[in-house]
Amino acid sequence: MSPETKNGKHYTNNINIFLSLIIVLISINLQGFADNLPTKEGFVIVIDPGHGGNDPGAVGSMSSEKNITLAIALKTGSYIEENLRNVKVVYTRKSDESVGLSTRSDIANKNSADLFISIHANSTGGSNAYGTETYVMGHSMDQANLDVAIKENQVIYLEKDYSTKYEGFDPKSPESYVMFTLVQNIYLKQSTELASMIQTQYKDQVGRFDRGVKQAGFYVLYKTGMPSVLTETGFISNRTEEKYINSEKGQNEIAMSIFRACKDYLAEISKKSINPSQTEDYRKNDTGSVTDSSDYKGKTVFMVQVVTSAKKIEIKPSNFRNLSNVTQLISGNKFRYATGIFTEYNKALEYRKVVEKVYPDAFVIAVRDNKILPLREAIEKKPKK
User: Do β-strands 115-122 and 43-49 pair in parallel, antiparallel, or remain unpaired?
Assistant: parallel
57 lines the binding site for Zn ion (CB under 5 A): yes
Distance CA 36, CA 85 (A): 10
Strand 300-309 and strand 87-91: the pairing is unpaired
Residues 169-208, one symbol each (x = binds Zn ion by CB under 5 A, - = not), give ----------------------------------------
Closer by beta carbon to Zn ion, 24 or else 59: 59
Considering only the stretches 18-26, 52-60, 93-101, 110-118, report the one whose residues sit in contact with Zn ion under the rule CB under 5 A.
52-60
Show contacts with Zn ion in window 254-313 (CB under 5 A).
none
| C-beta neighbour count of 69 within 10 angstroms | 26
Given 38, 49, 50, 100, the residue binding Zn ion (CB under 5 A): 50
Nearer to Zn ion by Cβ, of 58 and 378: the residue is 58
| C-alpha torsion sign, points 163, 165, 168, 171 | negative
Round to the nearest angstrom and report the end-to-end CA distance of the chain: 93
Fill in the per-residue mask, 1 to 20: x = in contact with Zn ion (CB under 5 A), - = not in contact: --------------------
**Torsion angle of alpha carbons 368, 374, 375, 377, nearest 10°?**
-90
Q: Which of residues 131-160 bind Zn ion (CB under 5 A)?
A: 152
CB-based closest residue to Zn ion: 120
CA atoms within 13 A on the CB side of 321: 23
Q: How far is the CB of 81 from Zn ion (least distance, A)?
A: 24
Cα separation, 288 vs 252, in Å, equals 55
Antiparallel, parallel or unpaired: β 326-331 and 334-342:
antiparallel
Distance CA 320, CA 307 (A): 8
Alpha carbon distance 340, 185 (integer Å):
23
Residue 97: other Cβ atoms inside 10 A: 13
Q: For the CB of residue 200, give the shortest distance to Zn ion in the complex, in Å.
A: 22
Report the alpha-carbon distance of residue 290 to residue 315 in Å, rounded: 17
Residues 325-341 as b/e (b if ≥16 CB within 10 A, e otherwise) read bbbbbeeeeebbbbbbb
- Minimum Å gap between C-beta 331 and Zn ion is 35
Residues 6+ apart with CB under 8 A from 79: 255, 256, 259
Binding region for Zn ion (CB under 5 A) out of 46-54, 85-93, 211-219, 253-261: 46-54
Which among 100-108, 119-127, 268-276, 315-323 is the span making contact with Zn ion, rule CB under 5 A?
A: 119-127
Q: Which stretch binds Zn ion (CB under 5 A): 83-91, 114-122, 240-248, 290-298?
A: 114-122
> How far apart are CB 92 and Zn ion at their closest, in Å?
13
Interface segment toward Zn ion; rule CB under 5 A; list 42-50, 75-83, 317-325, 331-339: 42-50
Reduce the DSSP state of residue 327 to 3 states and report it: strand
CA-based radius of gyration for the chain: 25
Minimum CB distance to Zn ion smaller for 223 or for 368: 223
The CB-of-50 to Zn ion minimum distance in angstroms stands at 4
Query: Among 75, 93, 104, 120, which residue sits at the site for Zn ion (rule: CB under 5 A)?
Result: 120
Stretch that binds Zn ion, among 13-21, 115-123, 324-332, 359-367 (CB under 5 A): 115-123
Q: How far is the CB of 64 from Zn ion (least distance, A)?
A: 10
Q: By CB under 5 A, how many residues form the interface with Zn ion?
A: 4
- Measured from the CB atom, the residue of 58 and 323 that comes closer to Zn ion is 58
Interaction site with Zn ion (CB under 5 A)? 50, 57, 120, 152
